């Protein structure tokens, strides 16, 4: 089922412009996002192929089936609460049956979690992005040997530096395990002209190996030093490197360029939404109302333009989190929406629609 199918079959109950245009934070080049609610015909609703939501390929147009819409309202999902509270100038179509749904009747203490905790996750995301931008991984991936150190007296040297000082190559070396000491290896050197001892070197492939390589060592040979492989450090590095490369491949090019251009090294759109969500959460707790069209538009657009320093914004956001917590602690909102009333409303609307469309 596609959004085009919903339109052709007359199944749409509600359709609205969402996102920045609804918030009032749109710019001339902003996309137009659409969200809405549809209802499945009676036979399809009772059958085996229930469809909870339908979206286009880019996910900027999303429609929720009536039951799914109510389920998300009961969870105080910010997206569907904002959809129900869409400003009048952004509503493209509303079926009379949907007039019975009022956003204020669904607001509850759950908004503390759904709005504020999501915003906290955005702060963590902003920190991660800031770190990636300011400390990008070098193009050349590090190898196992970059995490190996050789004992020198009471200290240690990186293995590459030690080999250079000794005038040796990695191929002249052999390693054996040291019993009871994980990731510590006895290091032997073959000084014979033709390397007759047959040591295998320190790693099988300097570019691709994930571990050091052991060698058979003839009896009577004495280690010249001991080598320690920082396996945990290498594992952590590999994870960070992989995450950076995945981020680099998947990042939104336009938003990344905007981040670079304003020079503050944070995703301005991400931070905008962090403050929008936190301020909306505080308003919900204090007033019991949801303001989708933002009265603080100018401040949010200042963030979007990169007019604040990163650390300043993070500090403000974390202070705002505390204000939100205090506001909800003092709020008279119910713990959760009235599930029974919502279910009755859902059944009432569905029955009424099916009565009007007995032959879909």
Going residue by residue through the chain (360 aa), what tens digit of pLDDT does each one get?
999 999 999 999 999 999 999 999 998 888 899 999 999 999 999 888 899 999 998 889 999 999 999 999 999 999 999 999 999 999 999 999 999 999 999 999 999 989 987 787 777 666 555 555 555 555 678 999 999 999 999 899 999 999 999 999 999 999 999 999 999 999 999 999 888 999 999 999 988 889 999 999 999 999 999 999 999 999 999 988 887 777 667 665 544 444 444 445 567 888 888 999 999 999 999 999 999 999 999 999 998 888 888 888 889 988 999 999 999 999 999 999 999 999 999 999 999 999 998 754
Question: Which residues partner with 188 through β-bridges?
Answer: 174
pTM of the predicted protein model = 0.65
User: What local confidence, expressed as pLDDT, does residue 255 receive?
Assistant: 46
**Do residues 195 and 171 touch, judged by C-beta distance below 8 A?**
yes
**Of all helices (H) and strands (E), which one includes residue 348?**
helix 339-356
User: What local confidence, expressed as pLDDT, does residue 85 receive?
Assistant: 96
**Do residues 160 and 169 touch, judged by C-beta distance below 8 A?**
no
User: What local confidence, expressed as pLDDT, does residue 268 receive?
Assistant: 80
Distance from C-alpha of 302 to C-alpha of 124, rounded to nearest angstrom: 21
Closest to 115 (Cα-Cα) out of 87, 85, 82, 88: 82
User: Angle 327-332-337 (CA atoms, 0-180°, nearest 5)?
Assistant: 105
User: What local confidence, expressed as pLDDT, does residue 264 receive?
Assistant: 56
* Side-chain half-sphere CA neighbours of 261 within 13 A: 9
User: What local confidence, expressed as pLDDT, does residue 256 receive?
Assistant: 47
Distance from C-alpha of 130 to C-alpha of 250, rounded to nearest angstrom: 16
Distance from C-alpha of 16 to C-alpha of 19, rounded to nearest angstrom: 10
User: What local confidence, expressed as pLDDT, does residue 36 receive?
Assistant: 97
User: What local confidence, expressed as pLDDT, does residue 138 receive?
Assistant: 58
User: What local confidence, expressed as pLDDT, does residue 260 receive?
Assistant: 45
Helix axes 253-262, 118-134, angle to 10 degrees: 70
* Side-chain half-sphere CA neighbours of 219 within 13 A: 0
Whats the size of the chain, residue-wise?
360
Could you name the CATH architecture of 1-106+337-360? Answer: 2-Layer Sandwich (3.30)
Domain locations in the chain as residue ranges: 1-106+337-360, 107-136+252-332, 144-235
């Amino acid at each position: 089922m596609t959004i085009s199918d919903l339109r052709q079959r007359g199944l749409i109950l509600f359709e609205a412009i969402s996102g920045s245009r609804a918030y009032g934070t749109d710019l001339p080049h902003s996309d137009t996002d659409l969200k809405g609610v549809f209802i499945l015909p009676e036979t399809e609703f009772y059958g085996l192929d229930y469809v909870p939501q339908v979206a286009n390929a880019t996910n900027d147009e999303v429609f929720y089936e009536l039951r799914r819409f109510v389920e998300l309202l009961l969870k105080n999902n910010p997206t569907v609460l904002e959809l129900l509270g869409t400003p009048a100038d952004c509503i493209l179509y509303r079926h009379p049956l949907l007039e019975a749904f009022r956003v204020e009747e669904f607001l509850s203490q759950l908004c503390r979690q759904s709005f504020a905790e999501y915003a906290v996750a955005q702060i963590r995301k902003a920190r991660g992005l800031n770190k990636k931008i300011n400390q990008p991984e070098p193009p050349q991936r590090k190898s196992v040997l970059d995490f190996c150190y050789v004992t020198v007296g009471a200290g240690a040297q990186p293995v590459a530096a030690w080999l250079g000082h000794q005038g040796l190559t990695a191929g002249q070396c052999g390693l054996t395990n040291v019993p009871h000491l994980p990731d510590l290896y006895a290091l032997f050197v073959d000084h014979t002209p033709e390397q007759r001892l047959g040591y295998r070197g320190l790693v099988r492939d300097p570019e691709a190996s994930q571990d050091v390589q052991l060698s058979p060592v003839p009896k009577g040979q004495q280690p010249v030093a001991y080598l320690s492989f920082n396996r945990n450090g290498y594992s952590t590095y590999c994870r960070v490197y992989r995450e950076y490369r995945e981020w680099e491949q998947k990042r939104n090019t336009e938003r990344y360029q905007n981040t670079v251009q304003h020079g503050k090294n944070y995703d301005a759109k991400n931070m905008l939404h962090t403050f929008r969500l936190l301020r909306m959460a505080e308003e919900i707790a204090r007033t019991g109302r949801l303001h989708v069209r933002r009265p603080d538009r100018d401040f949010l657009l200042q963030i979007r333009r990169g007019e604040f320093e990163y650390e300043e914004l993070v500090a403000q956001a974390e202070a705002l989190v505390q204000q939100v917590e205090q506001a909800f602690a003092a709020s008279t909102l119910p713990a959760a929406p009235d599930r029974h009333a919502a279910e009755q409303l859902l059944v009432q609307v569905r029955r009424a629609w099916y009565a009007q469309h007995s032959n879909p």
